[in-house]
Amino acid sequence: MKKILYLSFLLFTACSTTRNLPKDEVLYTGIKKTVVENRDPSKAGDEALTEVEAALAVAPNNSLLGSSSVRFPFPFGLWMYNAFHSYKKGLGHWAFKRLASKPVLISTVNPDVRVKVAQNLLHDYGYFNGTVSYELISTKKRQAKLKYKIDMQQPYLLDTIIYARYSHRTDSLLQQRLVDKILRKGDNFSVVKLEEERQRLSSLLRNAGYYYFRPDLITFLADTTQKAERVSLKVIPKAGLPAQALRSWKIGKRSIFLNGFDGETLTDTLLYEDLMIHYQGKLRVRPAVLYNRFSLMPGELYSQRKQLRTQENINRLGIFQYTDIQLMPKDSTKNNDVLNVRMNVAYDLPLDGELELNVTSKSNDQMGPGAIFTISKRNMFGGGELFSVKLKGSYEWQTNAPVGGNKSVINSFELGLSTSLTLPRLVIPGMGYKEFTYPATTTFRLNADQLNRANFFKLLSFGGDATYNFQSSRVSRHSFTPFRLTFNMLQYTTQRFDSITSANPALYLSLQNQFIPAMNYTYTYDDAGVRTKRNHLWWETSVTSAGNITSGIYRLLGNSFSKEKKLLGVPFAQFLKLTSEVRYNYRIDSRQSLVGRLMGGVIYSYGNSSVAPYSEQFFIGGANSIRAFTIRTLGPGSYRPDASNAYSYMDQTGDFKLEANIEYRFKMLGDLNGAVFMDAGNIWLLKSESARPGGLFNISQLGKDIGLGTGVGLRYDLSYLVIRLDAGIAIHAPYQTSKTGYYNIPSFKDGLGIHLAVGYPF
């Protein structure tokens, strides 16, 4: 205890941040606001400025979230450094080693070198007259900040661009793909673009058989004397190119070496067609699976694209730790133009396990832990198949007593078991094997789920589906489920639940025992991976049809459409469901963007069903929706359930949904980002229900029925994970409150929603 008091005394009597600095050194305390003159507002200028500012940025001691300009007010690490710098043993030495922070000095920041680097970056982006300078501003004794000044000046632009000195065949290839060129007249001169053009030309030639061609074999001649602030450019091959780089090559023999995860020596070989397979012991993968994934074919010209595709195809099997392709000349003769292909791979471990733990807290006063355990078997049948078994469970107890009752004696729980088999190809009867340019999988699933809601009901759900997932292009993905069958069985209900459903028969019908035979198609467009686009679009549309084929079969057997039809003695659901969502990310500059989302959905039940299954209906509100309202507290329409009913949230589902969101995102400090947002939307019924007055969609009431909220948020970006805190503030509730007018929120507290979540809302 005395030692701790002594250490505390030393710390608080020696709260100096500079006392033990080396002689003639100055403590660096951050960057003052950088002055930017003659700023270029274009995309190219924004990119250049971002690179320059990154070169100048250095975090001082006790930086706030990695910021170069904002610090915590209490430099604890520096205090510890100065208090215990001289201690060589004992508690003081321990405190120094564990708690002290080494001072960041002006000399280690080295602003002279940094401004030179920053100025060179300006020149690299075409701002040849641009300058960077700095000023040292003393804040306290032996402490100083840096103030940088960036003068961008006018950028030099590309004028004439000529491709010269290429062979006839090479020049023909270049002329055919000039439409793809990176360098264009009128663009800013940029060494980054020059390197991209080098890469493009090299890839173009390597895809035409020139295996030994490399980007560094292309050079540029630039002339800035012909026109003011203009660059005339020649793109030419380097002088004295090696003979190998000037020759197109063909594919010869092919072999693959299957190394074990324990590093076994390969002792066996198998020739399948023209592919030589080297392995040890039992061959763990079918030869045809390997053969079909080779895009490099004997006798064909070498192609870099096909080499990458071969590696991707093998990687998609998901059974290897790594893949490596080596191409070697068949022999050393002068006229040889044949490359032999050798692929080396190493098996991954056959089994994989994953455990996920979580804690949930819900708006219906239920909270508790949950867990998901998944075990997977790779290469189940020797064709890259992945077999997984997932066991999930959660337990919730009631944190508050329901109105007029006691806390739950039997608490809520959920248990689920699911299995899936994923094949790295499309399995379509009669189609045979076909290798796609982009990933394609077929997944078969079986699942069962037992749900118990305290004082409410017990529901058993089980079923299965078959799903095809594939890409038709870089930006287009498709998911088709030709068969999905789910059976919901309401095993047990309480008097409380029966009283709710007697007042709302539609709710009971949505939860009754029923089969849901369905098929689904989902199309997704996502251009986020296209780096040449400044702004990005994401669009997903999904169509689900349930019970229609089954109903058609019954009709062919003579049953009327109006007559209730059953599957294995249980009614089956019949509906059509359409959902669509579009997101647009408008990049203002490197520090701010505007992101919008518009989504809608409709589900229509008919024929064998008057109400859609509860699990298929729409709801709104929550951390990823209208953030001023918690989940399932809006709609349908202007309907508002009885506040004294602890399970009123069960009623707040609908057949039609509209939602719109807009969010302004901006960088704040280091990895901390901010957001200002506005959310609007609601759900409605397509058929009138006396139990939920005001829930029917009415175009004339649309303005009043739209719930509206705004708010602010913080996002901490860990690169692999985004932690998000949003505070939603309600502006308009679609239901009647104690306050009149459009802003009808009784008090600020009543309209405040706080959400802690992982990931962006959209």
pLDDT tens digits, one per residue of 156-206: 999 999 999 888 888 999 899 888 899 999 999 999 999 999 999 999 999
Tokens (6 digits) for 218: 């292309």
> Are 241 and 268 found together in one domain?
no
> Are 129 and 21 found together in one domain?
yes
Judge whether residue 405 has pLDDT over 50: no
Judge whether residue 76 has pLDDT over 70: yes
437 close to 462: Cβ distance less than 8 angstroms: no
User: Mean pLDDT, to the nearest integer, of 660-674?
Assistant: 91
Alpha-helix residue ranges (DSSP H) falling in 286-414: 287-291, 304-315
Backbone angles phi, psi at 388, to 5 degrees: -130, 145
Among residues 318, 347, 376, which one ends one of the domains?
347
Among residues 224, 246, 268, which one ends one of the domains?
246
Backbone angles phi, psi at 478, to 5 degrees: -130, 140
Residue-level length of the chain: 762
> Are 23 and 111 found together in one domain?
yes
Please report, for residues 34, 48, 183, 433, the alpha-carbon distance to residue 125 in angstroms, rounded to integers and kept in the order given: 19, 6, 13, 49
Residue 57 lies in a domain: yes
Ramachandran region of residue 668, left (φ > 0), alpha (ψ -120 to 50) or beta? Answer: alpha
448 close to 485: Cβ distance less than 8 angstroms: no
371 close to 394: Cβ distance less than 8 angstroms: yes
Position with higher pLDDT, 155 vs 529: 155
Query: pLDDT tens across 245-255, in order?
Result: 999 999 999 99
Respond yes or no on whether the N-terminal peptide bond of residue 22 is cis (omega within 30° of 0). no
Position with higher pLDDT, 6 vs 483: 483
pLDDT reported for residue 631? 83
Ramachandran region of residue 106, left (φ > 0), alpha (ψ -120 to 50) or beta? Answer: alpha
Q: Which domain holds residue 47?
A: 2-151
**In the chain, % of residues over pLDDT 90:** 56
Judge whether residue 398 has pLDDT over 70: no
299 close to 406: Cβ distance less than 8 angstroms: no
Report the distance separating Cα 180 and Cα 541, nearest Å: 31
* Torsional sign, CA 23, 25, 26, 29: negative
> Are 28 and 136 found together in one domain?
yes
Which residue type does 625 have?
S
Tokens (6 digits) for 512: 């009754």
pLDDT reported for residue 385? 95
Respond yes or no on whether the N-terminal peptide bond of residue 636 is cis (omega within 30° of 0). yes
Residue 313 lies in a domain: yes
Across all residues in the chain, what is the average pLDDT?
Answer: 87
pLDDT reported for residue 403? 33
Report the distance separating Cα 662 and Cα 594, nearest Å: 7
User: Mean pLDDT, to the nearest integer, of 555-563?
Assistant: 64
CATH number at residue 321: 3.10.20.310
- What burial letters (b/e) apply to 113-132, b meaning 16+ CB within 10 Å? ebbeebbebbebbbbbebeb
Residue 755 lies in a domain: no
> Are 186 and 119 found together in one domain?
no
User: Mean pLDDT, to the nearest integer, of 366-370?
Assistant: 69
Beta bridge partners of 325: 343
Kindly state the helix (H) or strand (E) to which residue 311 belongs, with its residue range.
Answer: helix 304-315
Residue 28 lies in a domain: yes
Please report, for residues 103, 241, 740, the alpha-carbon distance to residue 16 in angstroms, rounded to integers and kept in the order given: 12, 63, 59
Among residues 211, 246, 281, which one ends one of the domains?
246
619 close to 683: Cβ distance less than 8 angstroms: yes
Report the distance separating Cα 32 and Cα 148, nearest Å: 8
Count up the domains in the chain and report the number: 3
Which residue type does 603 have?
I
pLDDT band at 5 (very low <50, low <70, confident <90, very high): very low
> Are 15 and 120 found together in one domain?
yes
- Give the position of tokens 């997977």: 376
Q: What is the DSSP letter of 216?
A: G
pLDDT band at 79 (very low <50, low <70, confident <90, very high): confident
> Are 174 and 226 found together in one domain?
yes
- Give the position of tokens 């195809």: 313
385 close to 317: Cβ distance less than 8 angstroms: no
Other beta carbons within 10 angstroms of residue 603's beta carbon come to 22
Query: pLDDT tens across 471-484, in order?
Result: 999 899 999 999 99
448 close to 419: Cβ distance less than 8 angstroms: no
Residue 21 lies in a domain: yes
Report the distance separating Cα 717 and Cα 760, nearest Å: 10
204 close to 192: Cβ distance less than 8 angstroms: no
Query: pLDDT tens across 295-326, in order?
Result: 999 999 999 999 999 999 999 999 999 999 99
Residue 100 lies in a domain: yes
158 close to 189: Cβ distance less than 8 angstroms: yes
> Are 43 and 87 found together in one domain?
yes
Q: What is the DSSP letter of 8?
A: H
Helix (H, G, I), strand (E, B) or coil at 557: coil
pLDDT band at 564 (very low <50, low <70, confident <90, very high): low
User: Mean pLDDT, to the nearest integer, of 456-460?
Assistant: 83
Report the distance separating Cα 735 and Cα 704, nearest Å: 9
Report the distance separating Cα 641 and Cα 632, nearest Å: 11
Beta bridge partners of 545: 519, 576
Report the distance separating Cα 573 and Cα 616, nearest Å: 11
Report the distance separating Cα 250 and Cα 252, nearest Å: 7
444 close to 464: Cβ distance less than 8 angstroms: yes
User: Mean pLDDT, to the nearest integer, of 331-335?
Assistant: 88
Closest by CA position to 760, among listed 710, 715, 708, 709: 715
Position with higher pLDDT, 513 vs 248: 248
> Are 162 and 184 found together in one domain?
yes
Beta bridge partners of 347: 320
> Are 166 and 182 found together in one domain?
yes
636 close to 601: Cβ distance less than 8 angstroms: no
Please report, for residues 45, 190, 700, the alpha-carbon distance to residue 127 in angstroms, rounded to integers and kept in the order given: 9, 9, 57
* Torsional sign, CA 613, 618, 620, 624: positive
Closest by CA position to 530, among listed 576, 581, 578, 474: 474
Closest by CA position to 378, among listed 321, 417, 305: 321
Tokens (6 digits) for 4: 């701790």
What would you report as the CA-atom Rg of the chain, rounded to the nearest whole angstrom? 33
Residue 688 lies in a domain: no
Helices 2-13 and 76-84: crossing angle, nearest 10°? 110
Determine the number of helices (DSSP H) and then strands (DSSP E) in the chain: 14, 30
- What burial letters (b/e) apply to 489-506, b meaning 16+ CB within 10 Å? ebeebeebbeebbeebeb
Q: Which residues, at least 6 apart from 138, have a Cβ–Cβ distance to it below 8 Å?
A: 26, 144
> Are 6 and 140 found together in one domain?
yes
Residue 586 lies in a domain: no
* Torsional sign, CA 506, 393, 442, 488: negative
> Are 209 and 324 found together in one domain?
no
- Give the position of tokens 């020739």: 271
Q: What is the DSSP letter of 357?
A: E
Report the distance separating Cα 463 and Cα 485, nearest Å: 5
Helix (H, G, I), strand (E, B) or coil at 67: coil
Tokens (6 digits) for 708: 């509206």
